[in-house]
């Protein structure tokens, strides 16, 4: 099964980064892994730098870096409370590039990061940090876009509960490989796993197609499943992303797991892909698994 022992959590100290850090902390605890917390100081976000005399610019950059280090140390101290020692990394540069470079250098197994809310798919910023990381990362990315109300644990030793996991599959080889992450998290959190396939509602589709899809789903369930009744299969008909979002609203999973077909998929202008629509419009965090 998939292993997630090296975890990177970038933060900009927003509420979205806060909740993403809790996920990273919980996963690191369950997998007894190493947690890297990164903050990138971007000079362009400080327009006052344009008015600093040239001979003071280096000093100004050093000041920004020192300030970022202090803020990151304070952030980790205030949040890392479950026995996991997080390693802090502060850099200057372009956020997405720095995140991707650190992930490659450290050979991380998972990137966990926040994205700023549900703004509507058509308003997704092409240049946003999370979107660029989702496009380019060679490892899975857990995108957390809103604070959750129900499954945040009040127990300090486990800040996140994953009781219900939803895995969405189109039966491609990519999604079959992504299933290993769903099974791994299900075992680690002793969770309930739902396997969902959406049949496109096209003329000529029948109840036989649904039966075939259900059989394919059931064949994905390993013989050593955790407990009877802990894994179930569901088939729906309609637009894949709409049905996944609707099913998520009805059943309130704590995380959705989906495959992405290769790095750089969005470079091909596949903004209509099911995975990215669910990330932007869905009600809960999405783990996008790249292959």
Residue 197 lies in a domain: yes
Domain limits for position 128: 6-290
Q: What is the pLDDT of residues 45-75, one digit of tens each?
A: 665 655 666 666 677 778 788 888 889 988 8
Strands (E) located in 19-149: 34-41, 86-92, 110-114, 141-144
Read off the pTM: 0.86
Q: Is there a domain that residue 253 lies in?
A: yes
Question: What pLDDT is recorded for position 228?
Answer: 47
Domain-located, residue 1: no
**Structure confidence at residue 75 (pLDDT):** 87
Query: Facing residues of 7 across strands?
Result: 35, 110
Q: How many domains does one find in the chain?
A: 1
Give the H or E element holding residue 199: strand 192-199
For residue 139, give the CATH number of its domain: 3.40.50.12370
Is 49 part of a structural domain of the chain? yes
Residue ranges in the chain modelled with pLDDT below 50: 117-127, 147-157, 228, 264-272
Q: Given this model, what pLDDT does residue 79 score?
A: 76
In a domain, 46, yes or no: yes
Going 291 to 180 to 279 to 128, the CA torsion angle's sign is: negative
Could you report the per-residue pLDDT of 85-104, keeping only the tens digit for each?
A: 889 999 988 999 999 999 99
């Amino acid at each position: 099964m998939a292993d997630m022992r090296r975890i990177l959590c970038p933060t900009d100290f927003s509420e979205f980064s806060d909740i993403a850090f809790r996920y990273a902390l919980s996963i690191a605890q369950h997998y007894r892994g190493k947690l890297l917390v990164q903050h990138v100081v971007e000079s362009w976000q400080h327009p006052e730098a344009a008015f600093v005399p040239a001979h003071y610019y280096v000093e100004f950059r050093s000041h920004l870096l020192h300030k970022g280090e202090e803020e990151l140390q304070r952030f980790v101290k205030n949040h890392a409370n479950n026995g996991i020692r997080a390693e802090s990394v502060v850099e200057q540069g372009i956020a997405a590039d720095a995140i991707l470079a650190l992930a490659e250098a450290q050979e991380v197994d998972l990137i966990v990061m926040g994205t700023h809310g549900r703004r509507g798919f058509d308003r997704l910023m092409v240049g946003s940090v999370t979107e660029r990381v989702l496009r380019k990362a060679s490892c899975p990315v857990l995108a957390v876009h809103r604070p959750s109300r129900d499954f945040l644990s009040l127990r300090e030793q486990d800040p996140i509960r994953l009781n219900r996991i939803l895995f969405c599959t189109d039966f491609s080889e990519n999604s079959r490989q992504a299933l290993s992450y769903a099974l791994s998290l299900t075992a680690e959190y002793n969770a309930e796993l739902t396997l969902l396939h959406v049949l496109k509602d096209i003329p000529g589709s029948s109840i036989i197609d649904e039966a075939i899809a259900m059989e394919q789903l059931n064949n994905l369930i390993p013989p050593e499943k955790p407990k009877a009744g802990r894994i179930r299969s569901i088939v729906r008909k309609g637009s894949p992303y709409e049905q996944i979002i609707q099913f998520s609203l009805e059943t309130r999973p704590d995380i959705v797991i989906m495959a992405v077909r290769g790095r750089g998929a969005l470079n091909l202008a596949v903004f209509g892909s099911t995975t990215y629509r669910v990330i932007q419009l869905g009600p809960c965090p999405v783990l996008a698994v790249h292959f």
